[in-house]
Amino acid sequence: MRLVLLGAPGAGKGTQAQRLLDRYGLTQVSTGDMLREARAHATPLGIEAGKYMDAGQLVPDDVVVGIVAQRLAEPALAKGFVLDGFPRTVPQAQALDSMGVTLDAVVNIVVDSEELVERLAGRLTCNSCKTTFHRRFSPPSVAGVCDRCSNNLTVRPDDDEQTVRSRLEVYARQTLPLVDFYRGKGLLLEINGTGKAPAEVTAELLLLLDPLKR
């Protein structure tokens, strides 16, 4: 199964992607993780990408497309994958088509914008294992310490409230057209995630995707 997850920052794409991996034996392709890793290692690509990420703007298409093309060419992805964070623009979607990638479905998780701000501004991320927590919804057992590996938790620069609102504005302007693009291709599946626990969203996802299993 080859899937794309759409949704604004904070909609829960990463959480749902992980659950789909476990369910269907897929590989997650997260451009956000790849870009943050490159930035953390201060590679030329990471430094360039970080300028846009910290300002709440999209990383240029040519940078992202190059990363994804390399990743999708890896043999491990022949069994199927979940694309998380790509494509984010119609040109990126067209680039994916030009790679010869055939998708089974594109899932759009829709969440109210104010709920997204609350989710993101309170998010904490482990510097080591990348596990995420939330000050309100899923706090760690010990403040500032990861339950899984005991390393420090921090707020990512792109989760600052002002930056979050900027990211949502960018998403609405540049990424929402993908919904119409994939609806036109007959690939779009939509789920309303507002006010729902992750488990509820997962249950709805599986009802839509189980019939598509190859």
By CB atoms closer than 10 A (0-12, 13-18, 19+), residue 162 is exposed
Tens digit of pLDDT for each residue in 142-196?
A: 999 999 999 999 988 878 888 899 989 988 888 889 999 999 999 999 999 999 9
Query: pLDDT class for 214, splitting at 50, 70, 90?
Result: low
Active-site residue 156, yes or no?
A: yes
pLDDT, averaged across the chain: 88
Tens digit of pLDDT for each residue in 14-52?
A: 889 889 998 999 988 888 777 887 788 887 777 888 888
Q: Which one is catalytic: 23, 130, 135, 156?
A: 156
Which residues, in sequence order, are bridge partners of residue 106?
4, 188
Cα(40)–Cα(130) distance, integer angstroms: 13
Active-site residue 135, yes or no?
A: no
Q: What is the pTM of this model?
A: 0.76
DSSP state letter for 160: S
Active-site residue 13, yes or no?
A: yes
Active-site residue 23, yes or no?
A: no
- Cis omega before residue 139 (within 30°)? no
Tens digit of pLDDT for each residue in 102-111?
A: 999 999 999 9
- Please give the domain boundaries of the chain with CATH numbers for all domains: 2-201 (3.40.50.300)
